Structure 1
């Protein structure tokens, strides 16, 4: 099902910026003069507000709008209390073997995992092919530069202007990280995060997810890490070198070269 979406603002100060954003995304601009719950002509609105760019579901009972925010909420909590290099994602990319890795997050989304890796000292390049999600991510990174707690972290997060297929074949990253959108599973419906519900509703599945792996293997120097739900098939039907199992999912690791070998020392 295709959902209707527009760019909107209820603040005259941001109307010019909102119009420019709508034009860049190829969407209609809507000057909002009623509460979101009363908007009926669009299913979703991309809001331009003083707090940044957010995605909001319209209609009665709609949840709070979602934006990319690295300064508070879940991202801030994970930065301070997430477990450092003991986290599964840190082990999966190989930070237990070598610090300061360069990582390409080729399915960046709202940037949550990329932010965790940047917190742990990685230099992270991000790809996001959905235009309005990319705009939200760019906005969140920009706003993060004004907060001293995370300014140095977001400075290590570099948003690319292409998807993984457009990354120069001469580029090399220590690790390429993939977390493609996977079909919603009933077992996790009660705990599904609202931003993931937005993604599934608006973006849909990554139907070409299998095609991501060959590109990742081409760009990675040491390993490719694929985040998968439990029970999900291997990406591109390729068996990984090994796996790390978590409570709700797993990491499939494709090792190309050992990070702790003599050849890996810089």
Structure 2
């Protein structure tokens, strides 16, 4: 059982935003900081996931820091993720990021012109995304990018299955979170926090088939460079980098497999 996570607002001018987030994502509102564990805290700047005993604040960010640097100097359509979703020589894609997390890849794709629906079943991650998107929408440098991004709070597999033909994306992007290896020193603070508060994506194989049955063109799975494939059909191709790779599943090439899955 994962621990419950509440939301504390520490700035009176942000109370309305805190109530909206709490209501939208069914998060309990707190009136003081918990003595231990994790909680969400909204101050005058942003919403963060906190546990001072473990690490610094964890938050989604689309305006400043690494997001701004990657937006300006990331390499445009030459980036591996852009190549993997099929942007080379084509118009921007309609993408569903089925495991959005903190939205970093989703923001990169939106900055390149893609329409991106960020699906997150965790209320904590979804709230962090929604707060970051609100801040990006209010910033002149990122407002047009934010306009192409949407947060969907849902379990991706049944949500993908519920889409009608007009709503189906060209590409479904999947970046599953797998069980902790035990190497806490090497893990980023975001991963430590998400392991504790959100848990692992133990149904990634089911999500792959749901994505294949929904995508109109391809499914892209982001994996560690030496990570095992998800159970199911073999990827049609791979984009391999220094530390990560992108497994590409072509809907056209896997038509028979997909037809069988839809009929089962």
Is TM-score (shorter-chain normalized) higher than 0.5? Answer: yes
| Residues 1:45 and 2:39 aligned together | yes
Look up the match of 1:166: 159
Look up the match of 1:30: 30
Look up the match of 2:199: 204
For residues 160 and 202 of structure 1, the distance between their equivalents in structure 2, rounded to whole angstroms, comes to 19
Per-residue CA deviations over 1:168-217 (Å, capped at 9, x if unaligned) read 14322111100011223467x55532212211121111111111011111
Mapping of residues 188-203 of structure 1, within 5 Å: 190-203=185-198
Mapping of residues 125-204 of structure 1, within 5 Å: 125-164=117-156, 165-167=158-160, 168-170=163-165, 171-185=167-181, 190-204=185-199
* Deviation, structure 1 residue 226: 0.3
Match of 1:77 among 69, 74, 77: 69
Q: CA 1:229–1:186 in structure 2 vs 1: closer, same or farther (change >3 Å)?
A: farther
- Give the TM-score taking structure 1 as reference length: 0.84
Q: Report how many residues are paired.
A: 249
**Gaps spanning 5+ residues in structure 2: where?**
254-264
* Deviation, structure 1 residue 20: 5.7
Higher relative contact order (CA 8 A, sep 6+): 2
For residues 203 and 25 of structure 1, the distance between their equivalents in structure 2, rounded to whole angstroms, comes to 14
Match of 2:78 among 74, 86, 92: 86
Match of 1:103 among 86, 91, 95: 95
Report if aligned partners of 2:59, 2:128 keep a CA contact under 8 Å in 1.
yes
- Give the TM-score taking structure 2 as reference length: 0.85
* Deviation, structure 1 residue 87: 1.1
* Deviation, structure 1 residue 140: 1.0
Q: CA 1:148–1:191 in structure 2 vs 1: closer, same or farther (change >3 Å)?
A: farther
RMSD after superposition = 2.3
For residues 48 and 223 of structure 1, the distance between their equivalents in structure 2, rounded to whole angstroms, comes to 38
The DSSP-based 3-state class of the residue aligned with 1:50 is: coil
For residues 123 and 80 of structure 1, the distance between their equivalents in structure 2, rounded to whole angstroms, comes to 19
Report if aligned partners of 2:94, 2:116 keep a CA contact under 8 Å in 1.
yes
- Flag as ranges the 4+ runs of structure 1 deviating above 6 A: none
Look up the match of 2:250: 255
* Deviation, structure 1 residue 238: 2.2
Look up the match of 2:259: none
